[in-house]
Amino acid sequence: MLRRNIAYALAAYGIWGFFPVYWRWLQQVAATELIAHRIGWSFLLLLAVVLALGQWSTLRGAFGSPRVLGLYALAAVLLSSNWLLYIWAVHAGFIVESSLGYFINPLLSVLLGVVFLRERLRSLQWLAVGLLMGGVTYLAVATGRPPWIALGLAGLFAVYGLIKKLAPLPTLAGLTLETGILFLPALGYLLLVEWAGRGAFLHTGAVADGLMIGAGVVTTVPLLLFNVAARRIPLSLMGLLQYITPTLQLLLGVLVYREPFDRVRLISFGLIWLALLLYSLESLRARRTAAAVPIPELGEG
């Protein structure tokens, strides 16, 4: 059973890792139009899954709470902004920098937890954060500009994750609500670009049309695989597996799309990889220590 769930996790991270290939196949379509299609087809597919799994009552309960709707509306804006920036970056030839964003994201999420949720870090974890900042700063100074795309992707997704910590719905229902909130604006935008004569759907060939529709599938399938795996795989293992996605994206950017990866980027990425290694090892050690502490018998202490 564990092997099967690891396979689910590998499949999810693998699909996300090969996203650059998918979006490059649609390079002739504007990123804004792709996002609208991704939102629309994802919502329809997610809604069908929610209904098939009998989770409509969970989703329906959110409509009676303005606070919940507000949280998910904010989450929807953050997630769609992340999607838009990522697709634009892939189209513009910044796959390597995009992968950097998803290497940065876990430690940036940790920092947000410290600031907003008052979580505490141990000394090695602070060292990891320092190495992260050192790697980003070195890259900014050496290249003459901060890695805005990486920071934007990491920041948007980290804040999105923080919002989701405060939101009550399960992941599947939550993402259905988020895409549902954006469904009508996305549909309106697609109708607008079609009316203006700039729409790509049904005008660029059957393959492109199929890929635009398939945006909903490639969004939903890895999410479902991830949800199944995350419930049954130890958190420490999932924490290590998550780096498969940016690693694949980095390799695609360098080896397939021939983006530059010079000494400056190697040093910067190296500092960030060292930071992630330290943080992962320290987190693993802390979990093992906590698991080894005996639970007091009833009446003790």
pLDDT recorded at residue 296: 43
Q: Which band of pLDDT confidence, cut at 50, 70 and 90, is reported for residue 237?
A: confident
Both structure tokens of 294: 């005996």
Both structure tokens of 231: 């419930």
List, for residues 262-298, the tens digit of each pLDDT value.
999 999 999 999 999 998 888 777 767 766 545 444 3
How distant, in Å, are the alpha carbons of 7, 33, 148, 220, 239 from that of 4? 5, 36, 38, 19, 17
pLDDT recorded at residue 95: 97
The Cα 82–Cα 153 span in angstroms is 6
The Cα 210–Cα 191 span in angstroms is 18
Both structure tokens of 119: 């979580």
What is the identity of the amino acid at 55? Answer: Q
Per-domain boundaries in the chain: 2-287
10 Å Cβ neighbour count for 76? 23
Q: What is the pTM assigned to this prediction?
A: 0.90
List, for residues 63-92, the tens digit of each pLDDT value.
888 899 999 999 999 999 999 999 999 999
pLDDT recorded at residue 295: 45
Task: Please give the angle made by the CA atoms of 214, 68 and 239, to the nearest 5 degrees.
Answer: 60
* Range 12-21 burial, b when 16+ CB lie within 10 A, else e: bbebbbebbe
What is the identity of the amino acid at 44? Answer: L
10 Å Cβ neighbour count for 243? 18
Contact by Cβ (8 Å): 257, 95:
yes
Mean of the pLDDT values across residues 121-145? 91
